[in-house]
Structure 1
Amino acid sequence: MATSPLVLGPMIRYVDETSASVWVETRSAARVSIRAGGRRWEAGTFAVHGHHYALLELDGLEPGTVTPYALDINGTQAWPDSGAVFPFPFPPSMIATLQPGKPLRMAFGSCRTSVPHDKSGNRTHGVDSLRAYALAMASGGDLPWPDLVAFLGDQVYADLTSEQMQEFIRARRDIKEPPGEELKDYEEYAHLYYLAWSDPANRWLLSTLPSAMIFDDHDIRDDWNTSLSWKKEMEATSWWHGRIVAGLASYWVYQHLGNMSPQERAGDAIWQVITRHAGGDEIDVSDELDRFADRADQDPGSYRWSYCRDFGDTRLIVVDSRAARDLTPDRRALVDRAEMDWLDDRMRGGFRHLLVATSLPFLLPMGLHYVESWNEAISQGAWGKRAARAGETLRQAVDLEHWGAFQNSFRDVAGMVTEVADGKRGPAPETITFLSGDVHYSYVSEVERTSGSRIVQAVCSPIRNPLPRLMRSFAAVMSYGLATPVGALVARSAKVPDPPFRWSGVKGPWFDNNLACLEAAPEGLKLWWQSGVVEGGDHMHPGLKLVSSVTVVPRGAETGGKRL
């Protein structure tokens, strides 16, 4: 059987009312074209470290239309691939433009490992909820189709690799030499993305459902940028520089390039290099991209990974809470000053719903929030140098590095959110909702307020990487029950001020592999979580079950105080 000229994709990325972006990886230099609705769009590939990519910008589309498409490579159809063997026939891949005035419906989640979907893989990692969702959508059921899926971090695990990834590593280098089973360079990142996106069901889903993405730590390494001492420890190794350059360069290619609108891409320096050579021979941007990635790591202010999109009466702000950190001890910040100013400009009222997507939960369970704020204080010297060293060890050991561990940033954003909710930045939205992942359990919390917007935290984690049962118990103990008053006491002992507001749980926690959805429905913001379930021992064709749901209604519209 002939090898397909298409390695990965097509993936539908940024889509608005009249344009769509389609990303592909090809086996060699090529001209790539999309045929849809009687029209044709074409682009040449660009090369990065021996790999070949194209991003096609489809313009002049009609709003609110759903159009089948085909993809050609060098004039020959490569997608749909008639030679592909799928579990069952998948529907045609579509380009669905946004319909003006239609309320947003989107899916979101984080933390997805790439292991086989057979009985063994499901036993160790659970059913891939994204794949279960794809199969349910492809089967022609009555599930509502989202306008977008947002992947909120840990799309790939560069530090905790699967057996399949380790086989690839062993074939090209001594896995006993640093960095061992972890990723070393761009070639290994490219293979990791291949493992993540090549399953037929997920590949079909991503060929039709537009996607937005942001990284978290495992896209690079556990605890990425947790503190200055962590960064110095990594930079002292022989392999870290190559790793961070490859990680950010591959992230730009595989994830970030498709996050940008055509207008934003036009202002991107690397994309400008690529487009200046459009129509000629394939350009290799490896050196430019590596220099860019190195600069983005050393000087976070030189590039912005965050982005903002408006969907009618709903605004979605996607915040980089990893690369944009300021780790200088006397001005520690989860997002640096320039990034905070950017966020401040976009935290505005006048929308029905304001969604703030950040891989790390802004509102952890209060007990854990207190513990993280206490840990930050002692790590910064509140109890002396010896306690500071112990605090840093604890911080890295149990991942105490969320918003609560960066109190200056937490309070800055809390101030912005409160002003928006109180109508001081334009008409107050019905809801302000933080969408997050990372913690490997899902929950919903709400700030305790009697007026203005509802402020909600909705977490969906993991898509496929469940916590071991012992860790589930630890997470529950650390987050709930006595953890709140005890955490408050230890935080005050380190002279940490109380949070500017209180919040409490509405739903959760639950530890299933999940994919969450939300909808700006007439009655309020609807949120629900779905998980894959094996039926009749058929591991390759899991079903989909509802795990939990909640509707956040406008203030004053509750019935008996309930919002469920």
Structure 2
Amino acid sequence: MTWTPLSERLPSLPLILAGPILRKADSMTVTVWLALRRACTVSLQIYATHYGNGLELSHLLLGATQPTVAIGKHLHLVAVTAYAQTPILESDQIYAYDLVLQDSSGSYTLQQALDTENTGSTCISYFPHRLPTFALPPHDLNALKLVHGSCRKPHGGGVDVMPIVDDLIEQHASQPRERPHQLFFTGDQIYGDDVADPLLLALTEAGDTLLGWKEILPIDKPDGRVPPLYAQHLPPGERSNIAENLGGFTAGLRDKPENTKSHLFSFGEYCSSYLFAWSPVLWPEGFPQGPPYRDGKRAKQWTQEVAALQTFLHPLWKVRRALANIPTYMVFDDHDISDDWYLNLAWCLRVLGKPLGRRTVQNGLLAYALFQAWGNTPEQFEPSQPGAELLEAAQAWSATAGTDQAAAETIARVVGLPPADPETGLPQFRRDEQTWILDRDPGALTWHYIVRGPRYEVLVLDTRTWRGYPISGKPTAPPMLLSPTAFDRQIRHSLRPLGTPPPKQTLVIAPTNLIHLSIIDKAQELSLKQGKVFHNDVGDAWNMHKEALSELLAALFEHRRQVVVLSGDIHYGFAAQLYYWTRPQLTSPDEIPHVLVQLTSSAFKNAEWKTQIIHTKLKSLAPEQPQDWLGWWRSPELIEVQITPGRWRTVKLEVEDQVPLIRQIQTATGSEALSWLTAVRQPQFLPDWRYRIEWIKRQPAQPAFNNRRLPWLQAARPIPRGWQRRLTGLSWLWRNRWLQEGEEVVGYNNFGIVQFRHTPTTPPVVLQDLYWCPPWNPDCVVTSRFCGSLIPQDGQPPIPVLR
């Protein structure tokens, strides 16, 4: 099929370009997000259904009307929210919603706005009434089903598993307690840095067409004689040097310039990325062919990327339908802007200190606010709120083709960009105890938020823009992912008792992990010593900054005994248990126990050969071992007991002169005849807090959907290339189920469903079922279960007291 630019196709496209996407929904509010190609007034109507099963509409419950915001000449966005004065929507019921769109030429039903004569009927419903539906979370925690996942790159490795969410909703569409209740995107909904060349071609052209103007990209040339730079001047596959040298971006510093060869820069490109990720409407029927467009090896790569994009597009209609039928919450990680975004102080200085780098971050954050954050916290976009100011500024900036400098400055301020030093152009910081944090306006949007359910709460953390960079360390030193102020605002304030009993269960969305594979930890420690922090994202994991991790645990457990953390980022899924003890009285050995379970799901679509290797039983050759970490607020006196045949002796251990002191210890190691352990002589030297990490075993895979083949999977299966092709050559071995039943991680594309089990006769547990496509039966779906205990453990300290 031939390439036809959007500018030629736009008049024939439907009114709705992307959406509807169901966003925040609770007993009093429902928010629906839409992207349109014309300005409209959008009316949202929420209906009950007969018998609460979704099959037939009943009476109207609530509604709202809101005009769209003109982000571009042909791009109009709205997140319309229907409010009730008192709780009106209930659990265990299925509700439907309808939309009516009014413009200068008339009124349109939802289906009319979705369809055209050329596209035919667009399916976003599971029922004959053709309206999207949803069910609120149940009061019974045992019936709650939360979906979470991250990292969805259109040309990433493996099949996109996001359409499976649609299959799950469809399977239980009329059962309010069985269908998934909420969906959490935990980061990297788009990739600003790693973009396929053919896709960038489409994104650049679509962005310029939808906005109706071309953004002039600022570059660092002081003589003022450089001609204007537009995105179209930076063709696909040719952006690596610009990204690194003029933008300061670091994704290509790991000797992989191909990671930034098609980096996004313009606002239109970022907007188009979301529209292409969530809807098939703007996609062209074909891309230019590789050989005429590229030569030699690059032509082959172009053709391969086109093939990968086509497999991504094939089931995209299912992704669109799923997003219309489940309340969806989102938060950024680094790739939503660019790889390593705000990783450390050095990144902030090198990127925000360059005009192109700063503009790109601003464009990415503005797009994030409009496409993701608006639906998370619609109350922030009400009149007189920061979001409303941002919408007004975005309209003004776009209406003047990006020349309204006052509007641009307002955008930068409201999305939280730090002011630039007028002399150096570098970003400004301010002190937060022993860290530097990016300065921001007090009226900037807040990216972290809380989702409250009937018996649970979900804290969604912003661990990107509230980092604490060490004052005394190198600019590349790992940061605190939350500064001291952020710990108070995002965690302690949110969990502080309000005069009512706390929820039965607390969950936390942490886009980057608290716990990693040990080999990843060692690789990052080596990279840190070598100064290659951008090679392995050194500083993005909580455990790279032990003081910050201990502060996180202390903040979480100040008012909660058990916590579940949902995370993503690392392109494999797993579960781990963290038992935590704190000793409130320094003179007493008595401890208060707590428990945390980390559930990681990654990636929706970005499998790598490394993750598929550790998925197998080969990983059992080097299994993850339990870890014991101890912490003191004052320097302890530690001894090592060495036991040899016929005798034993004690040796005083050297202790670092720092507070807090955090140290990993080995419990009794060796045999009865030859062993050693760490101990203290006085009770006051017992640790003030400690924690133990244990990996939860992955249970054998179970078939989903009654082992039924899903037709779309066969068509969406990517063509093997590179390392995938080499593995295919050993398919007789690689596809062996025994080999693929590893015990620790799921290394194929996956997403997780989180459930809880607690009965009067059984202890409380949290379950994570990871959905993935097995190589031994690639047209089917299986689930791997991880079961974590939610009971804090009373246990003896790992170090004895020897008097």
Residue 407 in structure 1 maps to residue 546 in structure 2: yes
Q: Cα deviations across residues 175-226 of structure 1 (Å, max 9, x unaligned)?
A: 2252341001110011111111012111111111011111011111111112
Aligned ranges for residues 388-427 of structure 1 at < 5 Å? 390-391=530-531, 393=532, 395-401=533-539, 402-417=541-556, 419-420=557-558, 425=559
Note closer, same or farther for the CA distance 1:480–1:504 as it changes in structure 2 (3 Å cut). Answer: farther
1:346 counterpart (475, 479, 494): 494
Aligned ranges for residues 26-65 of structure 1 at < 5 Å? 26-37=36-47, 38=60, 40-50=63-73, 51-60=75-84, 61-64=88-91, 65=93
How far did residue 55 of structure 1 move? 1.3
Q: CA separation in 2, counterparts of 1:219 and 1:517? A: 23
What SS does the corresponding residue of 2:570 show, helix, strand or coil?
coil
Residue 120 of structure 1: aligned partner: none
Which sits farther off after the overlay, 517-526 or 352-361? Answer: 517-526
Q: CA separation in 1, counterparts of 2:357 and 2:544? A: 24
Q: Is the 8 A contact 2:596 2:790 kept in 1?
A: no
After TM superposition, the runs of 4+ consecutive aligned structure 1 residues lying more than 6 A away are: 275-278, 282-286, 474-479, 482-485, 492-496, 534-537
Residue 498 in structure 1 maps to residue 663 in structure 2: yes
How far did residue 244 of structure 1 move? 0.2
Note closer, same or farther for the CA distance 1:273–1:96 as it changes in structure 2 (3 Å cut). Answer: same
Residue 96 in structure 1 maps to residue 235 in structure 2: no
Note closer, same or farther for the CA distance 1:522–1:95 as it changes in structure 2 (3 Å cut). Answer: same
How far did residue 10 of structure 1 move? 0.9
Q: Is the 8 A contact 2:161 2:749 kept in 1?
A: yes
2:161 counterpart (126, 129, 134): 129
Q: CA separation in 1, counterparts of 2:172 and 2:565? A: 31
Residue 69 in structure 1 maps to residue 97 in structure 2: yes
Residue 107 of structure 1: aligned partner: 147
Q: Is the 8 A contact 1:20 1:97 kept in 2?
A: no
Residue 544 of structure 1: aligned partner: 781
What SS does the corresponding residue of 1:25 show, helix, strand or coil?
strand
Aligned ranges for residues 129-278 of structure 1 at < 5 Å? 129-140=161-172, 144-168=178-202, 171=205, 172-175=232-235, 176-177=238-239, 178-179=242-243, 180-198=261-279, 199-237=316-354, 239-260=356-377, 262=379, 268-271=385-388
1:446 counterpart (573, 577, 580): 577
Which sits farther off after the overlay, 41-50 or 263-272? Answer: 263-272
Q: How many residues are aligned here?
A: 518
Residue 8 in structure 1 maps to residue 14 in structure 2: no
Q: Is the 8 A contact 1:165 1:191 kept in 2?
A: no
Note closer, same or farther for the CA distance 1:474–1:138 as it changes in structure 2 (3 Å cut). Answer: closer
Q: CA separation in 2, counterparts of 1:531 and 1:506? A: 17
Note closer, same or farther for the CA distance 1:111–1:211 as it changes in structure 2 (3 Å cut). Answer: same
Note closer, same or farther for the CA distance 1:273–1:403 as it changes in structure 2 (3 Å cut). Answer: closer
Q: CA separation in 2, counterparts of 1:366 and 1:468? A: 18
What SS does the corresponding residue of 1:396 show, helix, strand or coil?
coil
Q: Cα deviations across residues 284-336 of structure 1 (Å, max 9, x unaligned)?
A: 99644344236368545544311112212212111111121123543842112
- Which residue identity does 1:78 align to in structure 2? L
Note closer, same or farther for the CA distance 1:484–1:553 as it changes in structure 2 (3 Å cut). Answer: closer
Q: CA separation in 1, counterparts of 2:98 and 2:64? A: 11
Note closer, same or farther for the CA distance 1:222–1:235 as it changes in structure 2 (3 Å cut). Answer: same
What SS does the corresponding residue of 2:781 show, helix, strand or coil?
strand
Which sits farther off after the overlay, 262-271 or 472-481? Answer: 472-481
Tell me, which stretches of 5 or more residues in structure 2 are unaligned? Answer: 1-10, 48-59, 206-231, 244-260, 280-315, 420-426, 428-437, 474-478, 582-591, 631-654, 665-689, 698-743, 795-803
The TM-score, its normalising length taken from structure 1, stands at 0.80
Aligned ranges for residues 290-369 of structure 1 at < 5 Å? 290-293=412-415, 295=417, 299=438, 301-302=440-441, 303=444, 304-330=446-472, 332-342=479-489, 343-347=491-495, 350-365=502-517, 368-369=520-521
Q: CA separation in 2, counterparts of 1:546 and 1:265? A: 41
2:568 counterpart (430, 433, 437): 437
Note closer, same or farther for the CA distance 1:453–1:32 as it changes in structure 2 (3 Å cut). Answer: same
Q: Cα deviations across residues 93-127 of structure 1 (Å, max 9, x unaligned)?
A: 44536367343431111111124xxxxxxxx6222
Residue 514 of structure 1: aligned partner: 750
Q: Cα deviations across residues 247-275 of structure 1 (Å, max 9, x unaligned)?
A: 11110111111111537856731325659
What SS does the corresponding residue of 1:509 show, helix, strand or coil?
coil
Note closer, same or farther for the CA distance 1:10–1:164 as it changes in structure 2 (3 Å cut). Answer: farther
Q: Cα deviations across residues 400-453 of structure 1 (Å, max 9, x unaligned)?
A: 221122333212112223x44xxxx3xx54x31111011111111112458644
Note closer, same or farther for the CA distance 1:335–1:463 as it changes in structure 2 (3 Å cut). Answer: same
Note closer, same or farther for the CA distance 1:554–1:235 as it changes in structure 2 (3 Å cut). Answer: closer
Q: CA separation in 2, counterparts of 1:195 and 1:215? A: 17
Note closer, same or farther for the CA distance 1:46–1:89 as it changes in structure 2 (3 Å cut). Answer: closer
Residue 121 of structure 1: aligned partner: none
Residue 456 in structure 1 maps to residue 578 in structure 2: no
Q: CA separation in 2, counterparts of 1:479 and 1:191? A: 45
Q: CA separation in 1, counterparts of 2:508 and 2:331? A: 12
Q: CA separation in 2, counterparts of 1:216 and 1:223? A: 9
How far did residue 70 of structure 1 move? 2.3
Q: CA separation in 2, counterparts of 1:58 and 1:33? A: 9
Select the structure of larger CA radius of gyration: 2
How far did residue 338 of structure 1 move? 2.2
Residue 215 of structure 2: aligned partner: none
Q: Is the 8 A contact 1:17 1:63 kept in 2?
A: yes
What SS does the corresponding residue of 2:264 show, helix, strand or coil?
coil
How far did residue 370 of structure 1 move? 6.7
- Which residue identity does 2:663 align to in structure 1? D
- Which residue identity does 1:506 align to in structure 2? I
Q: CA separation in 1, counterparts of 2:64 and 2:458? A: 29
- Which residue identity does 1:544 align to in structure 2? V
Which sits farther off after the overlay, 29-38 or 435-444? Answer: 29-38
Q: CA separation in 1, counterparts of 2:575 and 2:770? A: 15
What SS does the corresponding residue of 1:498 show, helix, strand or coil?
strand
Which sits farther off after the overlay, 262-271 or 543-552? Answer: 262-271
Q: CA separation in 1, counterparts of 2:789 and 2:39? A: 50
Tell me, which stretches of 5 or more residues in structure 1 are unaligned? Answer: 116-123, 380-386, 558-564
Q: Is the 8 A contact 1:533 1:545 kept in 2?
A: yes
Q: Is the 8 A contact 1:136 1:543 kept in 2?
A: no
Note closer, same or farther for the CA distance 1:316–1:470 as it changes in structure 2 (3 Å cut). Answer: closer
Root-mean-square deviation over aligned CA pairs = 4.0
Note closer, same or farther for the CA distance 1:474–1:522 as it changes in structure 2 (3 Å cut). Answer: closer
Q: CA separation in 2, counterparts of 1:263 and 1:525? A: 35
Q: CA separation in 2, counterparts of 1:512 and 1:529? A: 14
What SS does the corresponding residue of 1:454 show, helix, strand or coil?
strand
